[in-house]
Structures are given as structure tokens and as C-alpha cells.
Amino acid sequence: MKARVIHIITKLELGGAQQNTLYTVEHLDRSRFSVALWSGDGGILNSDAERIADIEFVIVPELVREIKPDRDFMAYHQLYTMLKDEVKRSGAPVVVHTHSSKAGVIGRLAAWRAGVPAIVHTFHGFGFNDFQAWPVRRAYIMAERVAGRVTGQFIAVSRANLDTAVGLGIARRDRIRVIRSGIKIAEFERRAFDARAKKMELGLDPERPLALMVACFKPQKSPVDFVRAAALALRAAPDAQFAAAGDGELRPEMERAVAEAGLAERFKLLGWRRDVAELMWSADALVLTSLWEGLPRVYPQAMAAGLPIVGTRVDGAAEAVADGESGWLLKPHDVPGIAARIAELLKNPERARAMGDAGRRKLDEFDIDLMVRRQEDLYEEMAGKMEW
């Protein structure tokens, strides 16, 4: 008897959690699982979901990222109605697996009310962080605690997230396991490639070293810190150039920062990209200025590509990047420190290559197919405990 597995996510934007959810629903064993994916609308990856064979892809328009009580209640009611129908008509175990903070809270509460017997949630990070006002942070934590009480099993992408969830009373330790956010390692491993031609295609100077950021332009990633660090790094490494692949709500602020720093000829905003591996093969260092994370998927991607990393010491970052060995981790908003490390790498290509080589040796646990197999094991374990 095939278990029915329904993944629910807030929005299919071009991010690690969304891409890994798509990979999971596409590669779950169809001999064991019937698969559905439900998402809010407006995601750049919606078309990717529509192309996956043998899944039911449903848009739930009421499910939006912003906190909107009326829309949120409508989303809750809609998910409850849909899940109640699933439970009623299903002749097999039903597993609901939620992702992201909004879909995680609303989806789990709706699933519990609908009588779904197995509820899973993945922490790809948290909706709360140390940079929020205390009442806001407290409200998010309380919402996670309430949803946690109706959750059968949790997945954390980092041990740091596991410890946070347990420490704040969001999840019991015996109900949470670490399953890394995986990547297709072979796709990112460096190979023979015309980096000069790629740089020219992007409007970059083929002779200058390149520091690259790949991220959504949203407050969590603090992308303007990268622009500020680039301006400082140029003082020590005057041949350097910079590029940011991504887009989002902070793009206008990024554009202003680039213009105000006089970086128009040295800093390229590349927009959303599907050629991330090629961008990394063309770069000399990967930079990420996040304020909080689960464990960013871009880190193992860069490690596979042989890139040294300059990032921030947040949450699970240290579980991928060995500070001083495969890269450097600094405090969030430490723009001068980030700039100094970028400049050091771009001026010392041998040191950069050695650090990139060190990162390649820590990749096995980030295999994306291992991620899927471990989720399959969890679903079967939960389904096996149900009475039908």
C-alpha cells in the first residue's frame, strides 16, 4: 500500500529549501509513495513543479508569505478542507510534510485538525532571529511551539537548528533528526571550463579575480553588506571585481549602494540564474553575508566547485565551513572583516585554491540522493506506526 505524501511550502522561489523540496517530490520512490506538492502562488519555480511527472501540484492562492491575518485564516481553512478530503478518501497512510515558517505553522495546524496521522516539518532555518524586536521574536517562537505540539517528527538541516528547537521548547530531541539539505555534488565539481568566456558574457573583466554571492536579496541575507565589503576590499585588492546572483525586495537598495560606492564598473547584479555552477567555476571566492541561516545550500555547492568561502558565523555555517581551513566565518555585519578576507583571497590565488581543495573533502553528507533516502525512511517509519 503506497503512503500518500503531501509537501506544503509557502512559495516556490529560487531558494535552497524550495529546490530541495522539488527534488524530493520528483525523486521519491513511486513504488512506495503517491506524491503531492501544494504551494502558494507566484513562485519562479512553479513551472518546474508543473513539469514533474506523477505528482499532484496544487496552487493555494490564499497561502502568502506576508503576515496577513485574513489571508492566513483563509489559507488555514483551505488547507484544512483539502486535507480533510485527503484523509477521508485515502485508503493509505497520509503523511504531510511542511516547509518554511508560514506553511509550517498553518499547514501543520490544518493537518492536525483534519486528522492527518503523520505530520513532518523541516527546519530550513527559523522565521525568528536575533535581529527582530523582542515581541515579534517571541510571537514567532510561540507559534512554532504551538505547531510543534501537533508535529510527529521534525527534520533539521543543521545540528545548530536542532539545538535551537530543543532549547526553545519547539521540538523534543527524540522527535528531531538532522538531514542535510543536499546538492547534486557532481553538477558542481569543477571541470574544464572557459571561465574567461563566461566572465565576458556576464559583462565582467576576464582578467580580474571575482568574488561571487549567490542569494536572494532579502533582509536575512543582508546583501548590501556585500556591496559595502566590496568597496572596502577594493582598497586592498584594486584588481578585484564582484557579482551577486539573485534578486528580491532589496534589489533597489543594492542598486543604490552600488551607485553610491562608485562600483558600477566592478559590481554586477546578475538577477536570478540557472547557471550557478558555471558562475562558481568562473569565480575565485564565494561570499555570503547572512544574518541567520539553517545551513545554506550554497556552501556545499561552493565546496564542490572548489571555492573558498567568506561567510558569517551563524547557525549551521560552521558545520560546513571549517574556519581558517576551507574559508572564514565572521560576525554578521562585520563588513571590514569580510572585506579583509575577500581581499586576502583575491590577492593570494594559491591560498584560495588550497582552501577550496580543503572544502571538497567534507561533501559526502550533502549528497542530495542521500537526503531523499533518509526522508523516505522517515515516511515509512511513520506510516508503519499507523493503524489502517
Tens of pLDDT, residue by residue over 349-379, are: 999 999 999 999 889 899 999 999 999 999 9
At 163-196, the pLDDT tens digits run 999 999 999 999 999 999 999 999 999 999 999 9
State which amino acid sits at residue 145: R
Would you place residue 387 in the very low, low, confident or very high pLDDT band (cuts 50, 70, 90)?
Answer: low
Do 3 and 379 contact (CB within 8 A), yes or no? yes
The strand pairing partners of 382, in sequence order, are none
The pLDDT > 70 percentage for the chain reads 99
Chain centroid offset of residue 10 CA:
13
Which residues are CB-contacts of 236 (< 8 A; sequence separation ≥ 6)? 339, 340, 343, 344, 347
Distance set, CA 358 to CA 209, 282, 307, 350, 352 (Å): 20, 19, 9, 12, 10
Tens of pLDDT, residue by residue over 98-125, are 998 999 999 999 999 999 999 999 999 8
CA 316 – CA 324 distance, rounded (Å): 16
CATH code 3.40.50.2000 region(s) in the chain? 3-182+367-384, 185-363
Q: Which CATH architecture has domain 185-363?
A: 3-Layer(aba) Sandwich (3.40)
Q: Which CATH superfamily is domain 3-182+367-384 in?
A: Glycogen Phosphorylase B; (3.40.50.2000)
Across 114-152, b (16+ Cβ under 10 Å) vs e yields bebbbbbbbbbbbbbbeeeeeeebeebbebbeebbeebb
- Strand partners of residue 311: 329
pLDDT > 90: what percent of the chain?
A: 89
Best CA proximity match to 152, nearest among 383, 377, 370, 374: 383
Reply yes or no on whether the pLDDT at 39 is more than 70.
yes
Per-residue pLDDT at 388 = 47
Of 90 and 230, the structure prediction assigns the larger pLDDT to 230
**Averaged confidence pLDDT in the chain:** 95
Q: Residue 154 — φ and ψ, nearest 5°?
A: -120, 150
The strand pair at 153-156 and 176-178 is best described as parallel
